[in-house]
Chains A and B, each alone.
Chain A
Amino acid sequence: MRIASVATFFVLAVLGGMQASLVLAADPDFDRTIAPILASRCMDCHNSGAEKKGGLDLSQVKSAEAGGDSGKVLAPGKLEESLLWERIAKGEMPPKRPLPENERAAIKAWISAGAKWGTSPIDPYRYSTATRAGYDWWSLQKLVRPEVPRIEVKDADWKKNPIDPFVLAKLQARGLVPSPKADRGTLIRRLHFDLIGLPPSPEEVEAFTKDESPDAYSQLVQKLLDSPHYGERWGRHWLDVAHFGESDGFEYDRMRPNAWRYRDWVIEALNRDLSYDEFARLQIAGDVLRPGDPAAVTATGFLVGGAHDSLLPKGDVMQKIMRQDELEDIVAIVGQTFLGVTVNCARCHDHKFDPIKQTDYYRLASALAGVRRGERSLPPQGAPVELADRREKLRNSLAAMEEPVRAAILTEREAAAKKMPAPPKAYAHWDFDGDLKDDAGRLNGEAKETARLEKGELFLDGKSGYVSTAPLPADIKEKTLEAWVRLSNLEQRGGGVITIQSLDGSYFDSIVFAEKEPQQWLAGSNFFARTQSFEGPKEVQAKDRPVHVAIVYSADGTITGYRDGLPYGKPYKSSGPLVFKAKESQIVFGMRHGPPGGNKHLAGAIERANFYERALTPEEVAASAGVASRHISEEELAGRLEPAQRDQRKKLLSEITDLSQQLARFSEPKVFACTPQQPGEVTSLLIRGNPQAKGEPIAAAGLSVLTTSGSEFGLAPDAPEGERRKRMAQWIASDKNPLFARTIVNRVWQYHFGRGLVDTSNDIGFSGGPPTHPELLDWLASELILQKWSLKELHRTIVLSATWQQASLPRKEAVALDADNRLLWRYSPRRLEAEAIRDAMLSITGQLNPAVGGPSYKDFRPFEHKSAQFYEPQDFVGPEFNRRSVYRMWARGGKNPLLDTFDCPDPSTATPKRGATTTPLQALSLLNNSFTLRMADDLAERVKREAGDDQSKQIARAIELAYGRSATDLEISASLSLVEKHGLAPFCRVLLNTNAFLYVH
């Protein structure tokens, strides 16, 4: 049974030599020894806050000396008279968990020696203790480049690379010697899987083993670092850390069809060795730092890769909790990925193990509070010019044909417009001149919260104000909503202008601004039941003048938008107009639907508004808006063209549509990325993490413990959203931030060696334990900065080290001293990861489709069941599905059973380090999965093609391909009988299941 052992924890902490141990002195140092005990054992209850149990506050000298409700608790020098000691000695305090013996002894010694106080009030984080880290914790200290140890080295190979003396020094101290260098064949296979995740071909192996040039190995390293497959391999590592998923998870688990662009961005950025600091900054705030750059906007996919519950309950309390849960996930991912600290542990209280206060959590939360998941359009990229040119020409031809006809029609209309029809009669009309009455007298409004009338307009603050009317007296099916509206800002998302809704707000149709897409008018409805994009132009004027907006709901379900009296974008067909029942429905202004709260409120002013109980025609809308309609219907236009012209026009239209579809792939592509909420909300500290218990407002800032890197941003709590993230990105990805460089070098080291210098690569705080080679870690961190944050240079330094090139064979004397190889006396053999197994199979059979990037392949059949998305695994056949595993669609509910058994992580949880389990289910998948069987067939086919009819040669070729080395005579003779009796394919299946294929040495 695996149970956390407090004892082990202790021993590790003390062995690490990182923190003050509780070795007892006659007169213990208060700050170093006593304060941490009081802080961690007593002050949860006996503090200066609201708790102050028994009236006792042990956090400062005066109150501690004054005592509590039972009188004084400390009698300096007189142990037996001290109530504090009495309660501790009897085991009554702290309740439930009595003090460990050493702490008890410390308190005893302290009181006996006079109970002298140190710093007051107690700062619990002043020093690290045996149970938690303080300000002096190693990873928080300024980064100073350590000297490379000067030790005697006999082997010339161990002199060249600065990593090696660090490792050798530790080995020597334990009386160990390193292993010899691995042979060339082993090295090339190891290096291939390590850097590009694919095996070398037999020809590459042969060339390398025969290459006698002194720089053969470094040339190979260079070649692999330059390979486009490098980014695929290391990108997958990064996606594990980013908990990148391509569906929402939770009940609906909706697909995110454009999330792959972030995956491609990661791969591409790594391939071109984008400096790691910029790599980080763009993922936190690329959209703010470089708004015009599609790649930078795409990078923010990092922030939104996690799971998201798209099913919102009505209840406000629950919504707030869900929001805070989601925010915690985002704060966690940023903190763990870039800083190696678990800031998220401080959401409800100060961090139990690291010097991170609860306010620190909310400082980071404030910086990230505007992050919302969603699709956004990327700035247009270069589409092939010829396509656009051709469309332009076709459009011109079309215009040349239509223009005269249109002009004629419009001229006639304008003539008629002089006798313009009177505007249609509204069912209800509000002009907001001094009151909220409906001119028709039916639907008088009532101002709620902050809604107010000002200069003949209904003014709405976007936070809580709205107007609701009396219930509608009759059932309403067809309808038209219309209003003249000014917006306070164009960045707002989701406010409703005029709404018809059921009294409780659960059903509604509404004119909504920018809920799904920024700056777009939209027909909002309950759960988007009748909502699609009009694909209208972006609203840019409504801030400067009132614009006229109308939405018409026709009996056949068609929904048509209008702006300034003219059609807005394209109408679309919905499931049909919802019937709003008499007496159970009403009109609302300034709020998408009830109940109030969230992003439903509009910030702006409504000049006047109309409601019609029928669907207006385009002409009627135009008349109401006061403009002559410029809408010319198809019939009207076609009716005036010659038959030949009509045919010609049809052809032109069809070609234009075709070209537009082609162009759509290039222009304004969509990406699943950060779609920030504007303006940024003010973050407040939540007492015990409870969204109902708001504390003080908190401005965005960094971790207060990192004083060397200046953790204040100088921003107000209501600073613009983008500014907050930008400052956070700059603060995190800085030379001065010691956590930033230390975290990434440890992470990279882990992937090269199978284990980090600190075991836990998402946590270099207290719980992560001390590093095995602290100086080496710091040297690597400072070297990374010197090398301008080049990850490829870091890889090169590591794989060129003698340490990394050691052979993997276990050695008895070394196993006895260091079975886990923490001191690096050999290269630890490793099983291939799930993706590497699959990719290697595709590679050795010659079936791998090496295409880089693009939309994900789907190895499942997606189906919707009762509005939830499901993904049924499928083994599809075809080149599209023979791409590298990093390109599969990573849907949360759509796991690939083969990859899954081999520890492919659940993308809902950040996975800094893959599991490497060995299970019978893995054996079953690898033996029986249709993919493996197909791969075995393909390998057999390839071998027959390449090795001819001789069975020994066939066996030798297959082994060469699968193992990356020549077959031994024993292997060939052992295999012959199976091949003779049953053919090559069963033999190939065996090979794919052997350890020599599955392990890297």
Chain B
Amino acid sequence: MRDEVVRAIGIPGEAKDAPPHHPAKAKRVIHICLCGGFSQLDTFDYKPELAKLHGKPLGGSEKPDVFFGQIGLLRKNDWEFKQRGKSGLWISELFPHIAGVADELTVIRSMVAESSSHTPATLHENSGFRLNGFPNLGSWLSYGMGNETDELPAYVVLPDSRGLPAGGTNNWSNGFLPAQHQGVMFQSKGPVISDLFPAREISGDVEAASRELQAKLNQLDLEARGGEGELAARMKAYELAAKMQLAVPRVTDLSGETADTQKLYGIDQDATKDFGRSCLLARRLLEQGVRFVQLFSGGSFGSPRINWDGHEDVKENHTREAKLIDQPVAALVKDLRQRGLLDDTLVLFTSEFGRTPFTQSSADVVGTGRDHNQYGFSVWLAGAGLKHGLAYGSTDDIGWKAVEHRTAWHDFHATVLHLLGIDHTRLTYYHNGIQRRLTNVHGEVVEGILA
């Protein structure tokens, strides 16, 4: 009980005292989560064969089980691919800035998902389960590793400035883990964290006198209650809250960053300023010891689109979305590298699934949109403990299904945990009959991408 309380309020040093299962390569994570499913065929999975088959039917006897049930003709990539950097990694023109950091990236081109419906697939991508109510990667890390700072939450969420992803705050639920492990949303408008400061103005004098009296009354109570540990812990929590009130405005104030840095992240341009601010803030949070920062690119679904869900026209959709994030994401990787942070930080760049090589249209038409593809898609990682400039695994000739080194989300999660020094089978929490894991009963570490 006592122990739980101590953990709950994040006594400083808890994380570094905690024994990892094996030496950790990384200490903290930034997860850039692209909502809607970006097209692997137009970004990281170069398929010359698909270009040759442009306008042909899919062929074969299998009727694809796609979300909207329409199977048009095959369509080639809409952006040219080039080999990049020293590694020669293939990256398309859609992401010119990210292409510039190709040698930092570890691309997995053989991801498979369990669902082709956005929300179950996104839940799976983040929590290992297709259902509501399970803790996310960030919550698991907060629970398993604690936090390196007691002034900021362990798991911070930075949503897209256009709106929350579908499901809203359910996306960073702690599930059945204790409440302190839920993601804390930093809002770009209004108060950064809800209730960080009084809902109405209270003068400094009143605030100080109030805290003092509160401490006094609590002390009297504590003495009358025989020094009950939990009561002392709550008194401590109020001290930490006061520190947080100082730390949050400090960390979110970007004005101290140099003009060059701001420019690097694209804060000087309309298109990139919002995501650029989020990326820069993410770096600052990590520097302060936050364990897990999650950035969302894209809001909820429906029409008109404000995420990567290019059913109607991938070219139009991805052009718009990529413009918002390409430079900031590349800046983040560069900045982390130049500050030495990338040596023990992981950057994850994922979406819940990819898109089909055939278009979402009538059977005899080359349409402009692509449907959801759970059978093969790409994600990338960057940072500690990885082979850089690597493309791992592959899909078939047309980029539809993963064929070599098929990698499921559970494998991906197992690998991330592994890099953080955690054996994914041993990070568990008892809930309703089961020692629950992020990886359910699955997951193999993807050894092939480890340095």
Contact = CB atoms under 8 A, between A and B. Distances in A.
Nearest to B117: A313
Interface in A948-1001: 968, 970-971, 974-975, 977-978, 981-982, 986-987, 989-991, 993-996, 998-999, 1001
Contacts of B430: 4, 760, 767
B5 interface: yes
Interface in A341-358: 341-342, 344-345, 353
Nearest to B122: A251
Contacts of B65: 314-318
B117 A901 contact: no
Interface string B200-221: 1010011001100110111011
Contacts of B213: 974-975, 978, 987, 990
B433 A342 contact: yes
B119 A309 contact: yes
B118 A906 contact: no
Contacts of A1001: 225
Interface stretch (B297-305, B335-343, B382-390, B397-405): B297-305
B179 A902 contact: yes
Interface string A912-930: 1001011111111101111
A318 B5 CA distance: 43
A250 interface: yes
B432 A910 contact: yes
A332 B227 CA distance: 42
A454 to B, nearest CB: 31
Contacts of B198: 927-928, 933
B101 interface: no
A134 B233 CA distance: 42
Interface string A884-907: 000000001101011011110010
Nearest to B238: A923
B264 interface: no
Interface string A308-350: 0101011111100110010001001000100001101100000
A989 to B, nearest CB: 6
Interface in B159-182: 163-164, 166-170, 173-176, 178-180, 182
Contact of A906 (B20, B163, B170): B170
A810 B299 CA distance: 51
A345 B432 CA distance: 10
A986 B10 CA distance: 29
A108 to B, nearest CB: 28
B100 interface: no
Q: Which size bracket describes the interface of B in this complex? A: 35 or more
B271 interface: no
Contacts of B226: 809-811
B372 to A, nearest CB: 8
Nearest to A754: B1
Interface in A778-823: 808-811, 819-820
B314 interface: no
B134 interface: yes
Interface string B236-279: 01101101110000000000000000000000000000000000
Given A249-B170, A767-B435, A915 B230 contact: no
A250 B167 contact: yes
B132 A917 contact: no
B69 A765 contact: no
Nearest to A981: B209
Contact of B217 (A317, A809, A933, A994): A994
Given A870-B164, A924-B193, A251 B433 contact: no
Interface stretch (B44-52, B81-89, B326-334, B421-429): B421-429
A996 B217 contact: yes
Contact of A930 (B21, B196, B199, B216): B199
Contacts of A307: 131-133
Given A250-B132, A313-B116, A974-B220, A924 B244 contact: yes
Nearest to A987: B213
B143 A2 contact: yes
A982 B209 contact: yes
B120 A322 contact: yes
Contact of B153 (A811, A921, A986, A996): A921
Interface stretch (A158-166, A169-177, A860-868): A860-868
A799 to B, nearest CB: 22
A251 B167 contact: yes
Given A1-B18, A871-B168, A919-B180, A909 B175 contact: yes
Contacts of B10: 920
A325 B133 CA distance: 13
B66 A315 contact: yes
B449 interface: no
Given A3-B428, A906-B132, A933-B200, A982 B68 contact: no
Contact of B68 (A506, A921, A989): A506
A897 B166 contact: no
28 contacts: A1-B18, A1-B144, A2-B144, A307-B131, A318-B115, A322-B130, A506-B69, A767-B433, A810-B228, A873-B194, A892-B170, A900-B179, A902-B179, A903-B178, A906-B176, A908-B132, A912-B432, A918-B230, A920-B10, A920-B238, A920-B240, A971-B220, A974-B216, A974-B217, A978-B209, A982-B209, A986-B209, A998-B234
Closest 5 CB pairs of A and B: A866-B302, A342-B433, A314-B69, A908-B133, A909-B133
Interface of B: 1-2, 5, 7-10, 18-21, 65-70, 114-120, 130-134, 143-146, 150, 153, 163-164, 166-170, 173-176, 178-180, 182, 184, 193-200, 202, 205-206, 209-210, 213-214, 216-218, 220-222, 225-228, 230-231, 233-235, 237-238, 240-241, 243-245, 299-303, 306, 362, 422, 426-435
Interface of A: 1-4, 243, 249-253, 307, 309, 311, 313-318, 321-322, 325, 329, 332, 336, 341-342, 344-345, 353, 504-506, 584, 595, 760, 762-763, 765, 767-768, 808-811, 819-820, 829, 831, 865-868, 870-871, 873, 875, 892-893, 895, 897-898, 900-903, 906, 908-912, 915, 917-925, 927-930, 933, 968, 970-971, 974-975, 977-978, 981-982, 986-987, 989-991, 993-996, 998-999, 1001
